[in-house]
Structure 1
Amino acid sequence: MASPPRHLLPLLLLLALLGTSSAAAPGVIRLPRAGACAAPADPAVYDRPVIGIVTHPGDGAAGRIDNGTSTSYIGASYVKFVEAGGARVIPLIYNEPDERLLEKLSLVNGVLFTGGSVKRGPYFETIKKVFQYVLDKNDAGVPFPLFAQCLGFELVSMIVSKDNNILESFHASDQASTLQFPNYSSLQGSVFGRFHPDLIKKLSTSCLVMQNHKYGISPKRLRENDALSSFFKILTISPDENGEVYVSTVEAQKYPITCTQWHPEKAIFEWRKPMIPHSEDAVQVTQNFANYFISQARKSPNRPPADKVLDNLIYNYIPTFSGKTSKSFELVYLFS
């Protein structure tokens, strides 16, 4: 069949869009009418998830931006990481009153613990409270995920083991590394279950992830600690600069809790350290982790009031450019 004259195509397409033609003209693609898209297939999946990120004491720049004793911060890369997965962020300011912390927790669908250095005092006590909240929610049958990175993983290890001296020293500061998989069968159902096999192979042979820590826990110590070994399963291990092996990724056996000793957010959003991998493969690793974490948050049945969420979103704060003063962050959100 011959195609219609070229000069008539715009008119025919317009008629098809307006739905005024009784039959599809030759060569014209009929588009669905407005409102024809079906509702979400699973109403239990929440497509407007909100994540609470616990702030860390300080300004993220060793006091060079704000040295107030009550100041805390969130690196903007953590916020962007959450947004990359399709969620928004409410800051959980660690030194706010407990009732305010609980109010904000009632508005979120999951929590993220960031990297940092502080392992004691009011900050550690807040982390313990939030961690217990995560456990209580899930024990009550309410899906509520936690993603803990670097310091966050270390603090969770201390809490679960009930041993503040459980951590060991490692030399993995400013180091890109591989991820080694001791048991590929354990990856099914985990965050790595959604990775393409080629990317799994690249993770084990190429330095695609960023490590920046002085402490961690060895596979031997984790396995020998009854509390940790019954709580976590080891997904990956990594070597430090001296070849000493530490646990780099774990997942809880019974909870939607994933912990990494490395920093997935940095591959896309941080540029201060020259060893941060920025390859397309490294970016894909970050995106897969963000997607997985937020997919867990989408299972939360919490539907917080929109106005309450808007009042508490991190968008109510202005990020500060810290790239010229901080060794770790391009942007930080400050709270005081």
Structure 2
Amino acid sequence: MAKQFLLASLALVVAAATDDYTPVVAVVSHPYNSTHESIPASYVKWLEMGGARATRMPYNADKKLVETIVNNTDGLFFIGGSGLLPDSAKQAYSLITNLQDDGTPYAIWGTCLGFQWLTQLITDAGSPILTSGYDSENLNLALNFTAAGKDSRLFNPKSDYTVVDLVGLLTENTVTINQHTFGVKPETMEDVEGYNILSTNEDREGKVFVSAFEHETRPLYGTQFHPEKNTFEYGCNSKGVPVEPTKHNDAAIRHSFELSRFFGREVAKVRGDRWQAESGVEIIYKANKGIIENSYEEKYVFKI
């Protein structure tokens, strides 16, 4: 047994020594005020937890900058927030779709508002796909899985290191934290070609919304809930009093890690050392210091 453990450990060391490229994910920042944009640090930490680094794609990035960023990254992340779908996101999505068509496994993830941006992009429908009036702020839920969700890549990953039953865990535990008043009705996505609804949920009034989806073949994923909050956000006000009911128990933290690691593996599939320091595309934690803000534990703020 000791010999087997030693051999396994040596194999991991060799793999680490020969496979040391860390994928880089572009995170679209959101307007903060008239002079700055921001990214909550929890999203960056969540990517890092899964084995990726993060760089920023400005909300109003021009076409040349968007192209430079896409060419120097392995994945794209649309975060939660309150901004309208920007032209930079539309252009990046178009470029990445072309890469995917050519066989490059460049991955995209959307959380909360980012989930909603993705539904707008994949249907090319703009805002009409979104429905307002959901009572889903500060709401922890277990997921109602579809048949596709139970057999999905996202919740049933094929990995030698994944030993947890994510479908069972998220069916039995109310740990996905929702913070949205807009949502997507299942019937508006059911006929979207190439995409599978993985789970649905109901708000406090019984109004049903899609809570997770993925593309049938492309590495494109969306969750209406916030997996990053379970590990990195405590929702405290200026006096340190929690104002969000985000769960931090074993099930909550485990699902956060598993989804992060899943996306980390997805973006690592691109290979080829796409990120180059001389491109000017900076890694966030090396170029910026976070600030403390009441609504988040920490935020990265960028001058525009």
Structure-1-length-normalised TM-score: 0.77
Q: C-alpha deviations, 1:115-169, integer Å up to 9, x for none?
A: 111225xxx2111111112211111111100011111111111122222211112
State the AA in 2 paired with 1:132: S
Q: C-alpha deviations, 1:167-194, integer Å up to 9, x for none?
A: 11211011111111121x5433511113
Candidates 243, 255, 259, aligned match of 1:285: 255
Task: Please give the secondary structure, in 2, of the residue aligned with 1:192.
Answer: coil
Once the two structures are overlaid, the 10-residue window that deviates more, 258-267 or 93-102, is 93-102
Gaps of at least 5 residues in structure 1 are: 1-30, 59-66
Task: Please give the secondary structure, in 2, of the residue aligned with 1:246.
Answer: strand
Gaps of at least 5 residues in structure 2 are: 1-5, 236-242
The reply on whether 1:214 has 2:178 as its aligned counterpart is no
Task: Please give the secondary structure, in 2, of the residue aligned with 1:99.
Answer: helix
Give the Cα separation in 2 of the matches to 1:305 and 1:53. 14
Once the two structures are overlaid, the 10-residue window that deviates more, 45-54 or 254-263, is 45-54
* Residue of structure 1 equivalent to 2:287: 316
Q: Spell out the pairing of 1:119-138 with structure 2 (5 A cutoff).
A: 119-120=84-85, 124-138=86-100
Shift in alpha-carbon separation, 1:321–1:188, aligned structure 2, 3 A? same
**Contact 1:238-1:246 at 8 Å conserved across structures:** yes
Task: Please give the secondary structure, in 1, of the residue aligned with 2:135.
Answer: strand
Candidates 272, 292, 297, aligned match of 1:330: 297
Instruction: State how many pairs are aligned.
Output: 282
Task: Please give the secondary structure, in 2, of the residue aligned with 1:137.
Answer: helix
The reply on whether 1:145 has 2:107 as its aligned counterpart is yes
The reply on whether 1:294 has 2:264 as its aligned counterpart is yes
Q: C-alpha deviations, 1:290-331, integer Å up to 9, x for none?
A: 000010111103313553378611121111111xxx32x111
- Cα drift, residue 239 of structure 1: 1.1
**Contact 1:217-1:247 at 8 Å conserved across structures:** yes
Structure-2-length-normalised TM-score: 0.85
**Contact 2:70-2:96 at 8 Å conserved across structures:** no
Give the Cα separation in 2 of the matches to 1:193 and 1:151. 24
* Residue of structure 2 equivalent to 1:20: none
The reply on whether 1:109 has 2:74 as its aligned counterpart is yes
**Contact 1:46-1:301 at 8 Å conserved across structures:** no
State the AA in 2 paired with 1:113: F
Give the Cα separation in 2 of the matches to 1:274 and 1:148. 21
State the AA in 2 paired with 1:177: L
> Aligned-pair RMSD on alpha carbons?
2.5
Give the Cα separation in 1 of the matches to 2:179 and 2:13. 46
Candidates 260, 266, 270, aligned match of 2:233: 270
Task: Please give the secondary structure, in 2, of the residue aligned with 1:40.
Answer: helix
* Residue of structure 1 equivalent to 2:23: 49
* Residue of structure 1 equivalent to 2:38: 73
Shift in alpha-carbon separation, 1:177–1:189, aligned structure 2, 3 A? closer
